Chains A and B, each alone.
Chain A
Amino acid sequence: MHKRVLFRARWLPYVLVAPQIVITLLFFIWPAIRAVEQSFLRQDPFGLRTSFVWLENYARLFADAAYYHSLGVTAVFSLSVTLLSMALALLFAVMADRAVRGATIYRTLYVAPYAIAPIVAGVLWLFLFQPTVGILAYALNQSGIAWNFRLDGGQAMLLVVIAAAWKQIAYNFLFFLAGLQAIPKSLIEAAAIDGAGPARRFWTIIFPLLTPTTFFLMVVNIVYAFFDTFAVIDAVTSGGPGAPGATNILVYKVYNDGFVGLDLGGSSAQSVVLMVIVIALTVVQFRYIEKKVHY
């Protein structure tokens, strides 16, 4: 789509795009190029000399068991967050769609957590499950479950999954509710007349018609779990417990290796791998938006 009616000016358009372009070049493109460049370099421990090492950083990365461990952790984490928050959001959205009375109040209450920062979500759940003071940790320990996520990797993972999914329910709820309300009522009525009960109507009509929303939300949630949950991990577990880190997701590892561990080459190689992942996810997202998955 293009405009037929345009304005003519020689330098004005350049002035208008300049701020955006300068910031993009300085803080996006340049660092990205540097990241690629650094991924081919290695610094000595004192940062005095830098040498070009070809693909050595990548070779080291892909020979590193800790990196595969982190990949696995990330996969488990993002799939669990996506499934948990989408399933709960869908349940609540279906119920809210059914409950006519009080619908706006429910919507307000369910959507509000969107505004809560990831770090705050992390702190809230940390406080409930903190081994010495948390009331849910206390309840678990009283009922005979030895709860200590500072020592148990599985428990730590469970906790960060809950905290990250909790915050994302709001977003998924909103889109599922919109999707449900867009389904023509006549279809559901027709099914009801043919004798389909509520469960049958849900699985054979409503759920298939929600596919585009579900697919879209899946991509958004995976991106969220990959990149926006850094603060949750940082506040709750700092990537631990254990040596390779039971909750050391890729983004946290990049930060930890590069910024804390000062392994610039290795961290940059990881950044480049992450960049490839983001590009793939973005492409999937845009292809979907072009075609709008059909039923």
Chain B
Amino acid sequence: MVEKSRLSVWIAHSVLILGILAIALPIYVAFVASTHDVRTVAQAPMPLVPGPHLWENYARALGQGSDSVGNVPVAAMLANSFIMAMVIATAKIVISLLSAFAIVYFRFPFRMGFFWMIFITLMLPVEVRIVPTYEVVANALAPVQSLLNATGLTWLIERLAGLRVSLEWNMLDTYAGLTVPLVASATATFLFRQVFLTMPDEMTEAARIDGAGPVRFLFDILLPLSRTNIAALFVILFIYGWNQYLWPLLVSSNLLTVQIGIGRMLAVGDGQVDWPIVMASTMLAMIPPVIVVVAMQRAFIKGLVETEK
């Protein structure tokens, strides 16, 4: 055992406590601001103890929202964020699980091609393809249309049937537009592939001898055995979905998530920001993911470590 002087333990605790205070400071000040009225907060320096307007501010934020966002209630924004996070997390898990299952348990033409195609998505974050992805969401059938045009099929159909083919499927301002383009996931696919590769072959053999087909094997054996991995991944993906900013900013101008709502409330010029409402919304936006992390800490840490492999 290495010597542990009282002093060094004492220093460790004080550094840690100071660190937490420093990290928590902005959150505390935001909380305090969310309990005062606009006038008190706008007067520098604002007080550092909570004021009497807590319920009033939170009720106003949840029920009426702020003028700067057209009075969309924050409750509605939170619901949108929640739907977005749930759909993204669930869909990512489902489609990654299915594709990993296909890649590990089957041999079929183009298998490695598909694998590399999924891998490439790691190198194409939204940030590097902003404008063209927006175009696809504005008309999800545009790629099909260009293919038809390029192959001359449009021309052919127009000649033969007298119909001008113009396909359109606008996903702007819809839940589909917010979520579908984000649900492909290389990380989750790799994670499930890794999990499946460690499952013993004997088990698959036994299942096959007992007459289980691939679908039965997936649902009755693989899924229950991957439960903890799914939970871990779900926590990470929920936070990922909840915290999205750039993507909803691009594709959704009326369907507001709480992150976008907060951004809008700030974009009115320094003088007019309604700080108590902004801070109340900020606190509300922070609570769900923090609860998820604290309550499911073990799954969360497992997820973080696994998705980085």
Chain A residues packing against B (C-beta within 8 Å): 1, 3-9, 12-14, 16-17, 19-21, 23-32, 34-35, 38, 88, 91-92, 95-96, 98-100, 102, 106-120, 123-128, 130-135, 137-139, 150, 166, 169, 171, 174-175, 178, 185, 188-189, 192, 198, 216, 220, 227, 230-231, 234-235, 251, 254-255, 258-259, 264, 267-268, 271-272, 274-275, 278-279, 282, 289
Contact = CB atoms under 8 A, between A and B. Distances in A.
B245 interface: yes
A119 B247 CA distance: 13
Interface in B280-300: 282, 285-286, 289-290, 292-294, 297, 300
Contact of B286 (A17, A88, A116): A116
Given A16-B98, A125-B26, A271 B8 contact: no
- Max chain A Cβ within 10 angstroms of own Cβ: one of B16, B42, B135, B214: B16
Given A5-B208, A31-B133, A124-B26, A108 B294 contact: yes
Given A12-B214, A251-B127, A95 B16 contact: yes
The 4 A-B residue pairs with the shortest CB-CB distance in the complex, in nearest-first order: A31-B132, A115-B289, A16-B102, A34-B132
A117 to B, nearest CB: 4
Interface stretch (B56-64, B154-162, B226-234, B259-267): B259-267
Contacts of A117: 242-243, 245, 259, 285-286, 289
Given A119-B262, A230-B245, A259 B134 contact: yes
Contacts of A107: 297
A267 B130 contact: yes
A267 B150 CA distance: 25
A27 B133 contact: yes
B282 A98 contact: no
A182 to B, nearest CB: 12
Contact of B245 (A169, A216, A234, A274): A234
B164 to A, nearest CB: 20
12 contacts: A9-B214, A16-B98, A17-B99, A21-B117, A32-B129, A91-B19, A92-B19, A114-B239, A135-B44, A185-B2, A231-B263, A271-B129
A117 B249 CA distance: 14
Given A35-B131, A124-B282, A235-B263, A6 B107 contact: yes
Contacts of A175: 305
Q: Taking each of B19, B46, B137, B189, which has the highest tally of chain A beta carbons within 10 Å of its own beta carbon?
A: B19
A5 B205 contact: yes
B9 A98 contact: yes
A279 B123 contact: yes
Interface of B: 1-4, 8-9, 11-13, 15-16, 19-20, 23-27, 29-30, 33, 41-42, 44-46, 48, 94-96, 98-99, 101-108, 111, 114, 117-118, 120-125, 127-137, 140, 143, 180-181, 183-185, 189, 197, 201, 204-205, 208, 213-215, 217, 239, 242-243, 245-246, 249-250, 259, 262-263, 266, 270-271, 275, 278-279, 282, 285-286, 289-290, 292-294, 297, 300-301, 304-305, 308-309
Contacts of B23: 109-110, 113, 166, 169
Contacts of A289: 309
A133 B124 contact: no
Q: Which of B44, B140, B270, B309 has the most CB of A within 10 A?
A: B44
B7 to A, nearest CB: 10
Given A112-B293, A119-B263, A192-B3, A133 B131 contact: no
B132 A123 contact: no
Contacts of B204: 3, 5
Contacts of B132: 30-32, 34-35, 38, 268
If over half of A's interface residues share one DSSP class (helix, strand or loop), that class is named, otherwise mixed; here it is helix
Given A19-B95, A28-B184, A99-B12, A278 B125 contact: yes
Given A98-B12, A278-B123, A13 B102 contact: yes
A14 B108 contact: yes
Interface centre among A109, A112, A282 (most CB of B within 10 A): A112
A4 B131 CA distance: 45
Contacts of A5: 201, 204-205, 208
Given A3-B104, A133-B44, A258 B131 contact: yes
A91 B20 CA distance: 12
Contacts of A251: 127
A16 B282 CA distance: 40
B123 A275 contact: yes
B304 A16 contact: no
B290 A116 contact: yes
Contacts of B19: 88, 91-92, 95, 110
B45 A135 contact: yes
Nearest to B218: A16
B13 A99 contact: yes
Contacts of B27: 124
Contacts of A115: 239, 243, 286, 289-290, 292-293
Contacts of B300: 111
A4 B120 CA distance: 27
A259 B308 CA distance: 32
B36 to A, nearest CB: 11
Given A12-B106, A16-B102, A20-B118, A128 B275 contact: no
A16 B205 contact: no
Nearest to A16: B102
B263 A275 contact: no
A174 B304 contact: yes
Given A6-B106, A17-B103, A131 B270 contact: yes
